[in-house]
Structures are given as structure tokens and as C-alpha cells.
């Protein structure tokens, strides 16, 4: 199915995990892709090209306004338009109780996870509004819907992403731009590997959080993102869609 043919998508945090899987999913539907990440890794670009789509890599720290603006400007220069954006870049931050958290760690986590989503939308929206059509999907987390001990900045940032999504969706609902968020549960990605240290006992504790009995796959989140961007979701805006095995229903 090539329903995204001649369309253009930006994927931040695109070098690994959910970002990589989503870039490939967009490519399979025909979209041209900008893969953005602060880590220079061309593997996602190669995989997108192998799927038959055009791809561009841009190094970008989403917490820095001029780097985000440059990312969007380069996308427009290369491809001529912007139809979809998956604002996915994020970090988990250190694990510590709130009263032990350092200001430096708080600022870095909030800067990438929350400020970064704001900056991305700030520079993506004008191009979509000019076209009178576009879709943005922000990556929150089930930690944006519930509390998680020892991840205060991460949880606060992901709650904030949902709030930004709902506000921006209201502002643009009648202007042709839809904005939603996905809230992944425990997904088998490099982030989970960092959190668990690849310790099998710790991994099982995370798996036990999902009533379905396993971690999710990045491709399952990618399917939700591309569906939200498709015409099948044309009446959906301002929603935070949980993509998990039942964690948020407990």
C-alpha cells in the first residue's frame, strides 16, 4: 500500500528503536523520509532506501531551537514539503528519587523530551498550515498517563507532551492539521536495554508490568503512528493513544 506516495515525513530520534521502525513503516507506504537524531548513524537511512524510499539524515539535538529549525528547513529544501512528523526523540534520564535528582539531569531530560517536542511543532506547523494539511504525532509514554517511581523528570516530561499535544490539537483542529500522541508501554528498544542493563531478572519485572505477558515491538508502535497519520484516522485529533499490553488498564 503506497498511500503516502509523494508525501514527506520527519522522524526525530530516528536512528534506533521506535524511530527506526516508524521510518521504515512510512517508507513502505511510499513517503520520503528525513531521519533526524543527535547520534550520527546511517543504518536507518539505508533501511529506508532498501524499502524503496528517498531518505535524508540530519543530525539534530531537538533541545536546541536553531538545530530544529535547520532540520525542518533542510527537509523543505530537499523534498519541497512536509506532510507528517513523528516527534519521537527522547531520553529516559537517570533513575533516582525526586529529592535526589540533580538540576542538570532534570533540565536535560525536560529539554529533550518536552522542550524538544514544543520546538519541533513550532517549526513544523507553519509549513503544514501553509499547505492547509498535515499530521503530527508526538511520542509520549504510558508514563505520561500514570506515575513511575524513580523517573520524575521522564514522567513529568511525558505528561507534558500529552498536554502540549491536546493544546496544539485544539488550536489547529479547524486549520487542516491533526495532532495526536502515542503512549508506548514497555517496548523492546535500546532504552529498555539501558534501563534494565540487559539483566534478565530486571527484564522480567518489566515484562510483568504488561498483562499481555511480553514487551511490545517497535513495529507495533510504528503501525499506530502510521495509522494516525493516514486518512483512516481523519477524524482523530487531540488524542493520546496507549500502545501497550494492558498496563494502563490495570
Find all residues with CB under 8 Å of 183, minimum gap 6, and list them. 140, 141, 142, 144, 145, 158, 162, 240, 241, 242, 243, 244, 248
Asked if 147 and 94 touch (Cβ cutoff 8 Å), the reply is no
Q: Please report where in the chains the cell 500529552 appears, as a residue.
A: 162
Side-chain half-sphere CA neighbours of 77 within 13 A: 8
Q: Please report where in the chains the cell 487542516 appears, as a residue.
A: 176
Asked if 172 and 230 touch (Cβ cutoff 8 Å), the reply is no
Find all residues with CB under 8 Å of 70, minimum gap 6, and list them. 58, 60
DSSP for 85-109, please give it: EEE----------GGG--HHHHHHH
Choice among 84, 101, 123, 154 that is catalytic: 154
* Pick from 2, 44, 53, 30: nearest CA to 218: 44
Q: Is 84 a catalytic residue?
A: no
Catalytic residues: 154
Amino acid at each position: 500500500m503506497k498511500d503516502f506516495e509523494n508525501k514527506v515525513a520527519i522522524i526525530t530520534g530516528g536512528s534506533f528503536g521506535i524511530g527506526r521502525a516508524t521510518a521504515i513503516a512510512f517508507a513502505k507506504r511510499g513517503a520520503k523520509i528525513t531521519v533526524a537524531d543527535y547520534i550520527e548513524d546511517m543504518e536507518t537511512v539505508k533501511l529506508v532506501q532498501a524499502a524503496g524510499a528517498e531518505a535524508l539524515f540530519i543530525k539534530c539535538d531537538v533541545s536546541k531551537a536553531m538545530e530544529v529549525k535547520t532540520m525542518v528547513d533542510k527537509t523543505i529544501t530537499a523534498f519541497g514539503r512536509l506532510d507528517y512528523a513523528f516527534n519521537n526523540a527522547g531520553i529516559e534520564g537517570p533513575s533516582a528519587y525526586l529529592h535526589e535528582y540533580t538540576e542538570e539531569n532534570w533540565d536535560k531530560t525536560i529539554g529533550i523530551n518536552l522542550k524538544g517536542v514544543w520546538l519541533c511543532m513550532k517549526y513544523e506547523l507553519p509549513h503544514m498550515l501553509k499547505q492547509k494539511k498535515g499530521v503530527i504525532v508526538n511520542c509520549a509514554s504510558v508514563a505520561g498517563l500514570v506515575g513511575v517511581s524513580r523517573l520524575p523528570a521522564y514522567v513529568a516530561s511525558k505528561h507534558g507532551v500529552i498536554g502540549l499535544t491536546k493544546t496544539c490539537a485544539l488550536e489547529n483542529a479547524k486549520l487542516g492539521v491533526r495532532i495526536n500522541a502515542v503512549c508506548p508501554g514497555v517496548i523492546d528498544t535500546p532504552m529498555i536495554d539501558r534501563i534494565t542493563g540487559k539483566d534478565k531478572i530486571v527484564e522480567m519485572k518489566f515484562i510483568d508490568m504488561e498483562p499481555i505477558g511480553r514487551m511490545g515491538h517497535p513495529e507495533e508502535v510504528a503501525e499506530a503512528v502510521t495509522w494516525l497519520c493516514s486518512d483512516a484516522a481523519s477524524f482523530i485529533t487531540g488524542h493520546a493513544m496507549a500502545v501497550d499490553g494492558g498496563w494502563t488498564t490495570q
